Amino acid sequence: MLRLITGIPGPSGFGSASTAEQVTQGIDASNLTAIITGGASGIGLEVARVLALRGAHVIIAARNMDAAREAKELILKGNNIARVDILNLDLGSLKSVKAFADDFKALHLPLNILINNAGVMFCPFQLSKDGYEMQFATNHLGHFYLTNLLLDKMKETAKVTGVQGRIVNLSSVAHLYTYKEGIRFDMVNDEAGYHEKMAYGQSKLANLLHANELSRRLREEGTNITVNSVHPGIIWTNLMRHSVLFSKIMKLFTWMLWKNVHQGAATTCYVALHPDLKGVTGKYFLDCNEYEPSELARDEALGRKLWDFSEKLVNAAQGK
């Protein structure tokens, strides 16, 4: 807690006060292509800007294409040689996820980095276009399906180039605040028992479990791709739009813990680019340092069960 409040660097040499530019200083990413979901605003936009600043070819995946175009213009305004493309992606629709993956593959680009950043937070109960609770569907299931669709491209890129691929899941310290059983497999769509904050925690726990299980599977295959999770910190972004009053009250009492967007993007950029993390996989990072997540997040059996459950939901939505 002292390190979080004061910004004192941890073992990595970085801490809560570090910015995305600082943690990537001197890194040449000109040979890398990265997809960033939700890259049109907030933390995602700053991650996209900094990766482009370091030379990466950035693909912004966004539901709001007007915002995506504005984000691209903003990045190019500060860096006129930046390589930025935008593609439509609605994570609440598995059909849209499939269309995005097809559109990306049609570009015939390599894929070195996948940053599963987009999400919704504390929204009232609603169902996705596929009939699943929106926070679980958008934050976890859409990213689960997207990652699976792009995995062969990442494997191919890593094999051909010899450059290790990296997948980064945006989780949250909120994974600690979930339903008692962690993932409510039999009650994901239960409106009567829905709690918007615990449902968010459930989706963030799912992000961690997904990353850990995928990491385990890729290690078994001997694939040159790492998968890690991050907590970006507490930052005021559009993610707060469903809980403005609650967030303002929370900020009043916890103001010393909040970050700006430049600091909030640091851990994602660190895990995505820093050479010190070559070969590091299946870990959880906070303030650019490795931390131990909850006991539920470390439960391998729960991770395998979530994987099978997620595949079942994806197949059901596609009529398989």
Q: Catalytic residue numbers?
A: 194
Q: How far apart are CA 136 and CA 310, in angstroms?
A: 10
Nearest CA to 127 out of 318, 317, 254, 270 is that of 317
CB 281 within 8 A of CB 215: yes
Nearest CA to 191 out of 133, 128, 139 is that of 133
Nearest CA to 294 out of 188, 141, 177, 200 is that of 177
Q: How far apart are CA 104 and CA 305, in angstroms?
A: 30
Q: Would you give the DSSP letter of residue 69?
A: H
Length of the chain as a residue count:
320
CB 63 within 8 A of CB 88: yes
Say which residue the tokens 């930046």 belong to.
82
Nearest CA to 48 out of 18, 77, 90, 84 is that of 84
Give the bridge partners for 83, in sequence order.
57
Output the CA angle 168-169-171, nearest 5 degrees.
140
